[in-house]
Structure 1
Amino acid sequence: MYIVDDICYAGEETPDIKVKEARALRGGMLLLTFSTGEQRLFDTTLLKGSAFEPLRDEKVLADFIIFHGVMTWMNGDIDIAPETMYAESYPYTARNVSAAVLRMGTE
């Protein structure tokens, strides 16, 4: 439990998570660098719902913008909260992913 502006919240206070850098990889994967400095892999093929269907096309997946720490596609029609991307991704520590990179972008 924690309190912010005299409001009590359940759970643990977490820092604001933002996507600082992203690389679109083959197979629907994104290599993300978060504001925490961590690099993590996010699998877009696990996203459910028709809203995310366009991301199955690697050209669409690679055509992203990072806007205020949030990844967006198709002029903002598709976005994924950075907190979700962080929670549903896993740590990545390898140094060389150049063979799998489709596109790289930064905020």
Structure 2
Amino acid sequence: MDIVPSVIRATYEGDFRIHVTFHDNLQGTVDFQAWLEGPVFEPLKDRTYFQQFFIDGGTVVWPNGADVAPETLYDAVQATRSSPALQPTAPARVKRRG
């Protein structure tokens, strides 16, 4: 059985970037700007609101329930480690909490 990646630490890095650390110590900075599409992500376009993220359920979450699947974040970090010029382009998987 594969273990689902789990974010254990997240730090704001400026603009729409968050540095994430996973349970296996993989870490890197993810630029969320390309993922800020659709109604649930609309409030995150405000940098002040974007900075209100927290960790819940092993991923990065915002007060309105927006989040990005930890697998998506993990893949984005792995991609940037393989080639620093790569930016995440896959759409985020969105879960609504509530």
Counting aligned pairs with the same residue, the percent is 28
Identify the residue that residue 49 of structure 1 maps to in structure 2: 37
> What is the TM-score with the length of structure 2 in the denominator?
0.69
Instruction: Spell out structure 1 runs of 4+ moving beyond 6 A.
Output: none
CA contact (8 A) 1:44 1:55 kept: no
**Matched residue count:** 78
CA contact (8 A) 1:31 1:39 kept: yes
Instruction: Extract unaligned runs of 5+ from structure 1.
Output: 5-13, 92-107
Which of the pair has more CA radius of gyration? 1
**Greater relative contact order (Cα 8 A, min sep 6): structure 1 or 2?**
1
Partners of 1:48 and 1:55 lie apart in 2 by 7
AA in 2 matched with 1:72: V
CA contact (8 A) 2:36 2:44 kept: no
Q: How far does residue 15 in structure 1 lie from its aligned partner after superposition?
A: 2.6
1:22 partner SS: strand
Partners of 1:16 and 1:48 lie apart in 2 by 23
C-alpha RMSD over aligned residues: 1.7
> What is the TM-score with the length of structure 1 in the denominator?
0.64
